């Protein structure tokens, strides 16, 4: 079952990075970027974290949010390592 995640990194990325992050929501909160949305499974989460690592971004936090908090804010996204481009 897809799970909603909120990932915070140091620095500000604009919304145009959403496509690179598999269509996840990319927003800012002060000096941090918040990447959030539904991920299909653990490999998708690890693929997203690998992209963050490859960009050299400083990871601040990864939160799994319950469905009651997440609502219908995003569609499932497969952010696995294959086909990243």
| pLDDT score, position 50 | 97
pTM for the full predicted model: 0.78
Query: If 0-12 CB within 10 Å is exposed, 13-18 middle and 19+ buried, where does residue 21 land?
Result: buried
Mean pLDDT of 29-34: 96
Strand, coil or helix: what is 68? helix
Has residue 20 got a pLDDT over 70?
A: yes
| pLDDT score, position 79 | 41
Beta bridge partners of 36: 6, 25
Strand 32-39 to 3-10 pairing: antiparallel
């Amino acid at each position: 079952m897809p799970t909603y995640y909120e990932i915070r990194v140091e620095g500000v990325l604009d919304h145009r990075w959403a496509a690179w992050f598999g269509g996840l929501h990319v927003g800012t909160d002060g000096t941090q970027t918040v990447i959030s949305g539904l991920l299909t499974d653990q490999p998708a989460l690890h693929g997203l974290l690998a992209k963050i690592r490859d960009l050299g971004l400083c990871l601040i936090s990864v939160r799994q949010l319950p469905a009651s908090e997440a609502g219908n804010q995003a569609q499932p996204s497969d952010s696995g390592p294959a086909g990243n481009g």
